[in-house]
Structure 1
Amino acid sequence: ITACYCFGALLLVVASICDLVSSIQLGQDSGAVLSRPANSSRIFYGVMFDAGSTGTRIHVYTFIQKDPEELPVLDNEMFHSIKPGLSAYADMPEMGGYTVRQLLKVAKKTVPRLEWKRTPLVLKATAGLRLLPSEKSQALLEQVQDVFDESPFFVPDDSVSIMNGTNEGILAWVTVNFLTGHLYAETRETVGILDLGGGSTQITFLPKSKKTIGSSPDDYIARIDMFNSTYELYTHRTCIKYLLCHVIHRPPYIIVLLYTPGLEWRVFKSSCLPKKFREEWSFGGLTYIVSGKPDGESYVGYKLCYQEVLKVVKDIVHQPYELKDTSVFYAFSYYFDRAVDAGLIDRTQGGMLEVRDFKKRAKEVCNKMSKYRPINPFLCMDMTYITCLLKDGFGFKENTVLQLTKKVNNVETSWALGATFNHFQNLKIHR
């Protein structure tokens, strides 16, 4: 028991370790710092690095626990990011380590010096490092490990790793449902999450119908133990077949739609792009060319664009049984960014949309490409892709509500908080 008390700052979910806490409760304040309990006697911290493809982010979480018999409260998140991501330093791993060392300054400023040795330090890498040759990704991870080992923080044995892609969706679901208070409701009502990244799309939710579980492939169902409860989730990450998501870093990577038979394979044309548009990318020593179809107005527009997108989406995105009758889903990443670009939501506030709102704006953008080209020449393609993915891919109704946001209670809605919970739940602490 004494050992557990000494390392109480590390135990975010301590029921499985010394039965001090049965669950975690979120405070109700909507600001960056949630209401601090009166006479709080314990403050503890966790540091999670998200090493993504476009940047490296640090999340420093502060938790409060009045005493061992009461529930911890998430008090604050300090967030900072730096670009580019670690994968940009594939040939200069020392520079990758340097960026992490710079971000560690945020943790040192946030966590009191007396708590450093009891505050765990973790980095999980995602798509950027997954796409690198193993020897290069390993060299980067070793540099990060050296930086961690030199730091004054607590460094667990598995503190630096590449995260399985499917786990991103599961842990993001934990984060969102924790922040919205759904994990602690007796009704077990939860919200689903939708993530749209560079080369993939992710959906995760807690099924209400046994038929959803029974009709889904086994590897689409994941069990997770969290906060003294077991959740059987539907979760699937799809990388659209034949996408150049391993080649061209332009979200959401549906450049495959632009392929024109008979042309050299790195030249692509599409009805989803302005007719006089042409752009090149160079990656891995190869140059890729994309353009609109300049032959006339009849070759562009929403209808033709949708037909191109549908060829990619259909038959490769599994439709869960119950989504036609589902409740609210939280959507972020490129769902959020493209809704902002299309003027559907405010970049700061986010907002609630129905699937039909994406469809309506996609038609407007595609049928007036010249108007939206200065904003984003790919907006027609992206909005049509999102519409098709939601309707014909996942099978949502047009009146399904989507909550688009980057934060809940001013805490980032990424997988990082869920990963922090999961990591510490599995920690085995020894003196």
Structure 2
Amino acid sequence: MFISLLISIFMLPPQERMVTQHLSGMFDHGPLDQGQMQLQRTMKISKRFFAFGILTCIAVYVAYVKWHLGSKPFVGATEGVAESRGDKLSHQAVSTDLSVFYGIMFDAGSTGTRIHIFKFAQQPRETPRLTHETFKALKPGLSAYADDVEKSGQGIKELLEVAKKEVPMELWKFTPLVLKATAGLRLLPGEKAQKLLEKVKEIFQASPFFVRDNCVSIMNGTDEGEQLYRGSFCTPGNSSRRSVGMLDLGGGSTQITFLPRAKATLQTSPSGHTTSFQMFNHTYKLYSYSYLGLGLMSARLAILGGVEGKPLGEGEELISPCLPPGFKSEWQHAEIVYKIKGQKAGEPLYESCSNKVAKMLYKKVHRAGEVKDLDFYIFSYYYDCAAEAGLIDKEKGGSLTVGDFEIAAKYVCKTMEISPGNNPFLCMDLTYITFLLQELGFPKSQGFKLARKIDNVETSWALGATFHYIDSLNRLQY
């Protein structure tokens, strides 16, 4: 309103400008008398005043725009033109709701590729909060296409269609699109992993979403734990979970993350087991470590006696005391097919399997003494195995102890001495989980909470990584 008032004062209508020009032309026909000279001087002053007025309008307008944009709660999420190669969004205001924005994260795991589409809301001068998540997963993982890169794009394109349906079209070019790969690609030779990432990047750059040069990458293990923990800050009711630890059992690696209360934990932890991160102007010191090769599928291979990425020779088999006696089959891992079989009947299955697992895990993990005094959520294959063994409700989750896993392992192994059942690996998997938790420092009485979702959000590192990525674009104002 103020600007309009200034313009109405200083801007002459076209008709008045025409009159002024006409009068000026009249003064060119002869010598000027004193009255005409006075009128011309007055007009020159008016022109200067007119120019000064225009400059004043511009200055006031620029100041108003700066103030107006500075008062917005979120800069760049739903305003600005996306520059696919730039480090941040350029800021050109458009008429959209600045309090709502989206982020898309692809989780390229060892056994599947998942898309997380997060919707955030932010009130002025407050921290953003997650309001909705859309999740979909496809199998197999990207690493399965290491020798046929072109096929890897089919699943990526299918999941992008999900994103297009979920994110409003007018926000596509403002929505960051990212893929982060985990243990599956970390276990691949570098050249093969890079070709897969380049293919994904090519597809992303052809999409309508906001894409940077670093839109695809391989996470290191510590990042997984940190981002999993960071994500707990972004959901409703998060304050009660900031002192809760988290255990994640993937296919290729397993992570442990918690916020230490004891100084001794930080002082005695091996190099690389602690990390710092900032969140909402606070610095947190985390115990976080990822054990590559100790995810459930990689552990299976190690217990069977195989080597990651190395096919068996002609006529070779992997014989394991953790498989039912007389059992014989094939098992595929990381695009390699292995012939496997169980040992002949003899020592009870649980005892023979536990001995094998204990040897495989010997000195592989660090025990943090403090964990026995903390509450922990456990996710992924911990959840799946517990549900398959009937320890928790498949949909609702539940609570159990290390001892519950042990009891289930003994029971399943005993029944497999008679029949392999639907999952011949369940004896091995439950035994492995039992020993892994104890090696990490958890006593048999230690209780855990198991959940697929917390506050209707899939439990994974994806939420924290998405929030951190958006933060890195300098698009959040606290």
Tell me if 1:163 matches 2:219: yes
Larger Rg: 2
Map of 1:79 onto structure 2: 135
Between 395-404 and 171-180, the greater mean CA deviation after superposition: 171-180
- Does 2:44 align with 1:44? no
In the comparison of the two structures, how many residue pairs are matched? 386
1:226 equivalent to 2:279? Answer: yes
Where structure 1 has 5 or more consecutive residues not aligned to the other structure, the ranges are 12-16, 18-39
Tell me which amino acid in the other structure corresponds to 1:377.
Answer: P
Structure 1 residues 252 and 339: alpha-carbon distance in aligned structure 2, compared to 1, 3 A threshold: farther
Partner-residue secondary structure (3-state), 1:53: coil
- What is the rounded CA distance, in whole Å, between the counterparts of 2:268 and 2:182 in structure 1? 29
2:392 paired residue among 345, 367, 371: 345
Provide Cα deviations, 1:319-368, integer angstroms capped at 9, x if missing partner: 012122x2221111111111111111111111111111111111111222
Q: Deviations over 1:48-71 (max 9, x none)?
A: 1112222221111111223x2234
Please, which of 234, 247, 257 is the counterpart of residue 204 of structure 1? 257
Q: 2:448 aligns with which of 385, 388, 402?
A: 402
1:194 aligns with 2:247: yes
The residue type equivalent to 1:7 in the other structure is: G
> Structure 2: how far apart are the matches of 1:375 and 1:10?
53
Aligned ranges 1:5-404 → 2 under 5 Å: 6-9=75-78, 42-66=99-123, 68-176=124-232, 178-179=234-235, 181-182=237-238, 184=239, 189-239=242-292, 251=297, 253-259=299-305, 267-281=317-331, 288-294=338-344, 296=345, 298-324=346-372, 326-370=373-417, 373-391=420-438, 393-404=439-450
The alignment-based identity, stated in percent, is 48
TM superposition score normalised by structure 2: 0.74
Equivalent-residue separation in structure 2 for 1:336 and 1:177 (angstroms):
22
| Equivalent residue, structure 2, for 1:23 | none
Partner AA of 2:257 in structure 1 = T
Kept in 2: contact 1:268–1:291 (CA 8 A)? yes
Q: 1:404 to 1:372 in 2, by over 3 A?
A: farther
Of 219-228 and 269-278, more deviation after overlay is shown by: 269-278
Give structure 2 stretches of 5+ with no counterpart. Answer: 1-65, 81-87, 89-96, 307-311
Contact 1:279–1:289 under 8 Å retained in 2: yes
Report if aligned partners of 1:198, 1:251 keep a CA contact under 8 Å in 2. Answer: yes
1:171: Cα distance to partner? 1.1
Tell me if the contact between 1:341 and 1:376 (Cα under 8 Å) persists in the aligned partners: no
How far is the alpha carbon of 1:10 from its aligned partner? 8.6
1:214 maps to a residue whose letter is Q
CA distance in 1, matches of 2:180, 2:450: 25
Q: Which amino acid aligns with 1:207?
A: P
Deviation at 1:270, TM superposition (A): 2.9
How many Å separate the matches in 2 of 1:41 and 1:286?
A: 49
Report if the CA contact (8 A) 1:165-1:237 is conserved: yes
| RMSD, aligned α-carbons | 2.9
- Give the Cα–Cα distance (whole angstroms) in 2 for the partners of residues 141 and 285 of structure 1: 18
8 Å Cα contact 1:10-1:119 kept in structure 2: no
> In structure 1, what is the Cα distance between the partners aligned to 2:419 and 2:449?
24
> How far 1:128 moved relative to its partner?
2.5
Instruction: Kindly indicate whether the alpha-carbon contact (under 8 Å) linking 1:57 and 1:81 is maintained by their aligned counterparts in 2.
Output: yes
Would the aligned equivalents of 2:303 and 2:320 in 1 still touch at CA under 8 Å? yes
Structure number with higher helix proportion: 2
Q: Report which stretch shifted further, 123-132 or 73-82.
A: 123-132
What's the TM-score once normalised by structure 1's chain length? 0.81
Q: Secondary structure at the match of 2:427?
A: helix
**Letter of the structure 2 residue corresponding to residue 405 of structure 1:** A
The answer as to whether partners of 2:221 and 2:255 remain within 8 angstroms in 1 is no
Q: Give 1:88 shift.
A: 2.5
**TM-fit CA distance, 1:416:** 0.5
